[in-house]
Chain A
Amino acid sequence: MIYQDSNTILEVQGLRACVNGKEILKGLDFTVRSGEVHAIMGPNGSGKSTFAKVLAGHTAYEVTAGTAVFEGRNLFELAPEERARAGVFLGFQYPIEIPGVANSQFLRLTYNTLQAQRGKEELDPLEFDDFVREKMKMLDMSPDFLDRSVNEGFSGGEKKRNEILQMALLEPKLGILDETDSGLDIDALGIVANGVNQLANKDNATVLVTHYQRLLNYIVPDFVHVMDAGQIIKTGGKELALELENRGYDWVGTEYREAMTTV
């Protein structure tokens, strides 16, 4: 939701980034204020997921130009774990499985790590158990998921729910959800989206990276951005997503190139 007196959470300017020497992001500008929900859409290979990973600090990507200011700090000077502690959260498209580590153990470890970093109280296993079970209700997750190994043998939908559960526990300022809708059936999509909606408030912001308009029926964005060839080439309101659904992406590119040649 757009608020009048909102603060800027993230401001990205002229971002360029490479992987293995190949430039993927080619001068990207992007601003997020508190309370807002942004959707980044675009065809395969346009750089959406790369952008998400660069924001989270994935080491495979090299930032070659541009700035990113997160809550007044230079994001690119922070290690991935420092970004997480500062309030950046990346929901993974393909969450990692960790056989041998119980989900409850993992969730409590990450929760307590961030609590300690933020000077807040850590929870012992019993306290945490009560706390996490409450959060799981919101995502319609069975408590069985606490005893199983992290993501091991989880279905696609279960993994994504587990991602949103982590977001619920870690309470980020900026939640970036990379293709959270991929691999979800319609019921799971509704549950995951409901979770994301419940977590959104006027002090945080959400960035949804997605292929399809479908997710945006459930999580209504304030802004829709179209990415193509490593740049954001069009920004609009939620109605832009519907237009993309009807007309595809090509026309946006054409329009953008025409505009560029006129300039």
Chain B
Amino acid sequence: MNTLTTIRRSPAGCFRTLLTGLPPLQTSPSSWINTLRAEEIDRLDMLTLPTKRDEDWRFTDISPLTKLTLAPVSNVTSLDVTDIEHFYIAEATTRQVFVDGVYAPHLSSAEASTEVLASNLPAALTTHAKLIEAHLGRHLSCDDNAFAALNTAVLDDAAVILVPRNVTLSEPVHLLFIATQKEVMNTPRCLVIAESGSEVTVIEDYVELSQPHSQEGAHLTNAATEIVLKDNARVNHIRVQREGSNAFHLANCAVSIGRSSHYQSVSVALGAQISRYNLNALLAEGAECTVDGLALIAANQLADTHTCIDHSQPHGVSRQLHKCIVGGSAHAVFNGRILVRQDAQHIDSVQSSRNLLLTSKAQIDTKPQLEIFADDVKCAHGATIGQLDHEEVFYLKSRGLSDNAARNLLTYAFATEIINRIPIASLKHQLEQRAFEQTRDQL
């Protein structure tokens, strides 16, 4: 039993503090939620905070997290529409807003269609308890993932989107998570279920709103998302992480892609001091996924993206393009695992990791990781790391652009290949602006 004691004394203690500091969660009327929480609370006793000795965290040192004092969110920040409307995305008429992880009904908009359910968890449970029970917490693996376990351990509310059979929702749904308080942990949670033949676009958007006179300090966003595509469904998933420069952002996303379904995702990491995004996609027979990503960081930021595309059954197709643009003395990490299981024949998978270093102090670690157990598959992968091309810079300077302007334009161009894959014009425009601003002063 000695070992267990040792583990208990290990840095996971910081979770304990968080959990004990928590006002006791109201017992959920759904007993299965209480069970789910209890399992993860128990699991947390067994788990430690990952260190660089863990293969999965080799390049990402999250020890600064242990130096933070983090409390659970106890006071709700009250915001008005005028405080947050600049975050709105014009095309998205359905919007759910969570402030520091707490649902803000007065900022959220009504459902766009009578057929599609987009609400928070308690409301969704009143009508769709069975469906939610079958999926919430069932796709995200917490086995060796302390942050996912922690999110579930305090699971109280969530953004829920349920798209019924054969329903296509043409407007995107905007899930807006606003961090306002320092020295807290907020635990956003999302559940998206696209029934057979349905189609939906979801924007998962993490922003920070600094309060006037707010104290210096950091917060932790510990997010978890589950997305379920039944057979022949389509989900466009856009994830934007644009928190403030002090934030810690740790996120887990599990996607289950049913037969002949198509999951298309673009994730963009711009903010946070340290961010980590784990995306696990499990593909059924004939399922397709496109998993694209962009990390655009500078100063002392660290952005880590770990993806796992799991071809568990035959005839799947996956495409992945991940780009990192790193300035200042920032550090980007990409680990792209493609798993083709033994029975998953006729898989067609292409992965590409392309990286741009803007300064001599910037750092990129990229690791394509193909694990193929089937023998009749088509898999390709490649990784490049480079700097801006001198000839390209000279071309632009010969047209009168300053060195900075030339480099910015080329950097922006590198970023837009990913941003252009976002099918929402106004968001695309916002991100392009951000890419321009972000690259402007970092050389």
Contacts and interface: CB of A to CB of B under 8 A. Distances in A.
B355 to A, nearest CB: 16
Interface string B393-434: 011111111110110011011111100100000000000000
Contacts of A214: none
A100 B390 contact: no
Given A100-B412, A101-B412, A101-B416, A114 B400 contact: yes
A109 B395 contact: no
Interface SS of B by simple majority: helix
A80 B398 contact: yes
A121 to B, nearest CB: 16
Interface in A157-207: 166, 170
Given A99-B417, A100-B412, A100-B420, A170 B391 contact: no
A154 interface: no
A35 interface: no
> Which of B389, B409, B414 has most A Cβ within 10 Å?
B409
A29 B403 CA distance: 30
A81 B400 contact: yes
The bracket for how many chain A residues form the interface is 20 to 34
A98 B388 CA distance: 12
Given A98-B409, A100-B413, A170 B394 contact: no
Given A99-B417, A100-B420, A170 B399 contact: yes
B394 A80 contact: yes
Interface in A186-236: none
B392 interface: yes
A98 B403 contact: no
Given A59-B394, A92-B395, A96-B395, A101 B400 contact: no
A56 to B, nearest CB: 5
A96 B395 CA distance: 7
B387 to A, nearest CB: 14
A57 interface: yes
Contacts of B396: 96, 110
A166 B396 CA distance: 11
A100 B401 CA distance: 18
Nearest to A83: B398
B394 A101 contact: no
B413 A80 contact: no
A110 B420 contact: no
24 contacts: A56-B394, A56-B398, A57-B398, A59-B390, A79-B403, A80-B394, A81-B402, A81-B403, A84-B397, A84-B398, A84-B399, A84-B400, A95-B395, A96-B391, A98-B392, A100-B413, A100-B415, A100-B420, A101-B412, A109-B409, A110-B396, A110-B400, A110-B401, A113-B399
